[in-house]
Structure 1
């Protein structure tokens, strides 16, 4: 935990909460990224514009932050491409299977006291804990 920063964690959490609140307040929609992304392809054209703007804001915001604070985040190197591809597939599969992603269930669903979201979030967390253990300790792929 040598890179833990409570200020950046609190700031990031507050920004996510504010954006989820604003989307719900002004658009009546939940800020579940997988649902927003899926809606780009499966919604009427009138719904597509705000979805694309939201997703573009995620990418542009990360880009701008990197311009303001270069080197704040460092990319991890040395992971096998097959492992990364398998991880991406499993995340997508899990998102589809649980009818939502970590942002939809963990932020918006828990705020609405959804039992399904609580179960999904506990499952995400358990999967993350097991994955970190396997990658760092069992397979010794991370230093």
Structure 2
């Protein structure tokens, strides 16, 4: 999971971009996961059914890809406190940034949204800083 593999990255980017484009063109919706989850949690939202199907596809995707030799990491080298803190910080950042990396990074940049370009640059800078701190200063 830590090694860059250009072909699988290219294939993954093509699939993500294609799915986001299809959702935008066919449904007029942006494939930002935080917005999709938020809308799915509101029973009064008339768009909740397609949102739940989209989320189901995210869960089933790795299972459907497994026969082709593609798989997610089988183990996470972090304890529950670190996972919970990380999840909280991701949720907080999503709220503060008015969207997640998929909404801004894939869909927003694809639509040339200045706000999304700035948000994605901030996401990337913070991610680089966190990796540097964790790997080189803390030594995890």
Q: Does 1:99 align with 2:98?
A: yes
The match for 2:112 is: 113
Count residues with an aligned counterpart. Answer: 140
TM-score norm. by structure 1 comes to: 0.89
Q: Is the 8 A contact 2:108 2:117 kept in 1?
A: yes
TM-score norm. by structure 2 comes to: 0.91
Q: Is the 8 A contact 2:39 2:45 kept in 1?
A: no
Matches within 5 A, 1:56-67: 56-67=56-67
Q: Distance in 1 between matches of 2:59 and 2:107?
A: 21
Q: Distance in 2 between matches of 1:100 and 1:85?
A: 20
CA RMSD of aligned residues (A): 1.9
SS of corresponding position for 1:100: coil
Q: Distance in 2 between matches of 1:138 and 1:26?
A: 47
Q: Distance in 1 between matches of 2:8 and 2:132?
A: 25
Unaligned runs of 5+ in 1: none
Structure 1 stretches of 4+ moved >2 Å = 42-46, 72-78
Unaligned runs of 5+ in 2: none
